[in-house]
Chain A
Amino acid sequence: MAIVRLSTPLRKFSEGKPEINTEGSTLKEVLANIDSKIPGFLEKVVENDEIKQFINIYINNEDVRLGEGLSTALGESDVVSILPAVSGG
C-alpha cells in the first residue's frame, strides 16, 4: 500500500485530502489504480506514457526521472509525491 501525497492542484481529485493510499507494485500501477477510482486523474499526470512536462514525481523523496520513471517499483509504505515543477532560488 503506497501513500500518495498530492499537491494542491490535484487535491480536487481527493476531496481536498492531501494524501491517499493506493495499491500497486510500480508507479504506473499506482497511478492507474488511482485513476480507476478517480477517473481523469491519470491524464492529468501522464501523457504518451511519460510524466507530463510540468510535473515532478518523487518516490521516498527521489525524483523518478533520475531513476526508472513510471516503471519504478514500489514497496509497502513507500511514499509517492506528485508536485508541480517549480524551482529557482
Chain B
Amino acid sequence: MLIGLKCRNCGQRYPIEPLNTCEECFGPLEVEYDYDAIQERVSREKIEKGPNTIWRYADFLPVTGRIIDLGAGFTPLQRADNLGSILGLDELYIKNDSVNPTFSFKDRVVSVSISKALEFGFDTVGCASTGNLASSVAAHAAKANMNCYIFVPADLNVAKITQALVYNPHLIGVEGNYDEVNRLCTEVSGYYDWAFVNINLRAYYAEGSKTLGYEVAEQLGWEAPDRVVVPAASGSLLTKVWRGFKEFERFGLIDEVNTKVTAAQAEGCSPITTAFRTGEPVKPVRPNTIEKSLAIGNPADGFYAVKVIKESGGTAGSATDAELIEGIKLLARTEGIFTETAGGVVVATLKKLVEAGEIDSDERTVIYITGNGLKTQDVLAEYLPSPIKIKPDLEAFNTQAKPEQKEVA
C-alpha cells in the first residue's frame, strides 16, 4: 500500500528506497500511500482488535516486512483534572508517552525505522541524538541483532548516556551541541552504507509519530481534541500528529478535525515559536537551555511545523529554564507523572498560554508528555528539598519529622 516517496517541497517522486532528500530541490521526502487501498482495509473494529502497540495501526505505517517490536505505543491517555483545575482548564488530558519501552516517544519512530532498515537489508543502524533517540535505537538494534552507532553531544544528561550504553551500542560522544552532532552524522552518512534512522531513513522514521495522533483520537472515543500542545525540537512530531488526525479524518474514522496544534519550546532554543510569532522564516539559533532533548537550533521541519500551526489555528509558546523546572514539579505533584525537561516545557508553556488567554478554558486539550523524568534527574537536584533524616526511632519521628496529620491510634 506504499506508492513511494514524494518531495514535500516540489512534489518530485522517488521509489521506496533509503532516501531522505529530493535530488531536485533538497526538500524532505515523505512516504506516499495508496489511500484508496488502505480505505478498503481499515475500520475502527479492526484497529480495536489489534495489538496494544503502535502496530495496531500497521495499515498506516510504511513497513511491509518483519517488525521489530519492543511494545512501543498505546500508552495511557490520562484525564488530568488536578492540573486542569489549577490551570483553569475544564477538560485536560495527558498523553503519557514516558512509559514506552525505553521511556520516550522515540520508540514509536524507531520501531518503524529499524524494521524498515531490516527490510532494506542493512546490517548497521545509527542516529544523531539529543538523548532519547539514542537509547531507543540502541535497544531496538539489540533486539534486531544489528550493529549500532550512536552519536550524541558529549555533555548529555548522565542518565541518558548510561541508559544508552547498557544496550551495548558504539556510543560516540561528540564535543559539540546537537546541531553539530547532527551535521557530523549527516556527513558520516554520506561515506558509510548504514541506516541512519533520522537521516537516510527519516521519511519512514517520522511516520511513526503519526501514531501519537491516531492513539489520542482513538482513546478520546474516535474524536480529535480541540487543542494539542506538542513539544517541538525539529518540528517533525508536531506535523505528524496533525497528519495522524487528518488521515483518520480522511478514512472516516473520525469526524472533521478542528484541532488547534500548539508548539512548546524552551525559550533558550525557540526558533519555531519565534518564526510563528514574528511571521519571519525560521532562523537558526545557538541553543542555550538546560532542556537538551528539544535543543535543535536549526530545525529541519520548522517550516512545516509553522505551516501546520497556522493552518490549524494553533499557536506557539516557550518556557524559561526556571519555568520548565516548575512545570516538571507541577505535573508530578498534581498528576503523579514524572517527566523529563521536555514535558516541563509543555506544562509550563500550556500554563502561560492559558494565562495569556490564548487557550480557552472549555477547550478539550491534550498535552504530549514525551519523555520520562528519570532521564533528566540531574537538572532537578538543586530544585528539590532534601529528605528529613532521622534515627529509626518513634520519638525521633514525632519530634523531628513534625507530622501534620493526626496520629492514627
Contact = CB atoms under 8 A, between A and B. Distances in A.
A89 B187 contact: no
Nearest to A9: B23
B44 to A, nearest CB: 31
B198 A89 contact: yes
A50 to B, nearest CB: 10
Given A56-B183, A83-B183, A8 B190 contact: yes
A7 B21 contact: yes
A84 B9 CA distance: 13
Interface string A68-89: 0000000000000101111111
Given A12-B23, A52-B26, A87 B182 contact: yes
Contact of A86 (B235, B281, B300): B300
Contact of A87 (B26, B176, B184, B299): B299
A69 B321 CA distance: 30
Q: Is the interface of B mostly helix, strand, loop or mixed?
A: loop
Contacts, number: 105
A7 B21 CA distance: 10
Interface in A28-69: 44, 52-56, 58, 61, 63, 65-66
B206 A56 contact: no
A65 B26 contact: no
A86 B198 contact: yes
A81 to B, nearest CB: 6
Given A53-B303, A55-B26, A56-B298, A88 B233 contact: yes
A53 to B, nearest CB: 7
Contacts of A63: 179, 183, 284, 298
Q: Is the interface of A mostly helix, strand, loop or mixed?
A: mixed
B182 A84 contact: no
A51 B243 CA distance: 29
A83 B133 contact: no
A89 B130 contact: yes
Contacts of A89: 127-130, 132-134, 178, 182, 198, 233-234
A7 B298 contact: no
A57 to B, nearest CB: 10
Nearest to B237: A88
B361 to A, nearest CB: 33
Given A84-B20, A88-B198, A9 B26 contact: yes
Contact of B190 (A12, A18, A65): A18
Interface residues of B, number: 45
B283 interface: yes
A8 B9 CA distance: 18
B208 to A, nearest CB: 12
Given A9-B21, A54-B28, A87-B296, A61 B183 contact: yes
Interface string B165-183: 0000000000010111011
Contacts of B20: 84, 86
A55 B100 CA distance: 34
A44 B23 CA distance: 9
A83 B186 CA distance: 7
Contacts of B284: 63, 65-66
Interface string B292-315: 000010111101000000000000
Interface in B200-245: 202, 206, 233-236
B220 to A, nearest CB: 26
Contacts of B186: 7, 83-84, 86
A52 B303 CA distance: 13
B165 to A, nearest CB: 17
Contacts of B202: 86, 88
B25 A86 contact: no
A26 B176 CA distance: 25
Nearest to B187: A81
B88 interface: no
A61 B180 contact: yes
Contacts of A18: 190-191
Contacts of A8: 21, 190
29 contacts: A5-B190, A7-B186, A9-B26, A18-B191, A54-B9, A54-B21, A54-B25, A54-B300, A58-B183, A61-B176, A63-B298, A65-B283, A65-B284, A65-B298, A84-B21, A85-B28, A85-B300, A86-B182, A86-B202, A86-B300, A87-B182, A87-B233, A88-B202, A88-B206, A88-B236, A88-B300, A88-B301, A89-B127, A89-B133
Interface of B: 9, 20-23, 25-28, 127-130, 132-134, 176, 178-180, 182-184, 186-187, 190-191, 198-199, 202, 206, 233-236, 281, 283-284, 286, 296, 298-301, 303
